Amino acid sequence: MTSLRIEGLDELNKTLSELSSKFEQEAGRLVNRTAQNVRTNAINLIRTPSMGDTYVQYTPFYKTHTASAPGDAPNIDTGRLVNSLTVTRSGSTSAEVLANVEYAAYLELGTRHMAARPFMTPAVEQERPNYERGLRELTRRAAK
């Protein structure tokens, strides 16, 4: 009869558990940093003026507003959209960037009466290379 004895499994499991915990913490920091950067990118896109149609609106007083051009991020009117952007940690390695005004989705995606004025999707795409680079670096360090 042949037998095999493996020693050190308890220590190996402990080390792997510690590595997993450290990786999760660092991944959480990366996700949080990325989410904060996406929020900042979205705010900067909205704050960058775009020239579209100018019109007078009554809300409850007359004021002039210049809409952004279709495909560009929305121009600031009241500031509610920018002020509504928040980051929420939704797990140890997940976060959400939310626009907490009812009209945000209409601006992002457009309607049958208005072309999209995306601000969240371009903000995510601006940050994607940094996130991917950070994730590669994190996995490279964990593999050592």
Contact status, residue 117 vs residue 109, Cβ threshold 8 Å:
no
What does residue 64 show for φ and ψ, rounded to 5 degrees? -95, 140
* Region for 34 from its dihedrals, namely left if φ exceeds 0, alpha if ψ lies in -120 to 50, beta otherwise: alpha
Q: What is the pLDDT of residue 50?
A: 87
Residues in Cβ contact with 14 at an 8 Å cutoff, skipping those fewer than 6 apart? none
Q: What is the pLDDT of residue 4?
A: 66
Helices (H) and strands (E) in the chain, counts: 4, 4
Q: What is the pLDDT of residue 24?
A: 86
- Concatenate the DSSP letters of all residues of 94-136 into one string: EEEEEE-STTHHHHHH--SSS----SHHHHHHHHHHHHHHHHH
Distance of alpha carbon 30 from alpha carbon 130, whole angstroms: 10
One digit per residue, the tens of pLDDT, for the chain of length 144 reads: 666 666 776 776 666 666 677 888 889 999 999 999 999 999 999 999 888 888 887 777 788 888 899 999 999 988 999 999 999 998 888 999 999 999 999 999 999 999 999 999 999 999 999 999 999 998 888 777
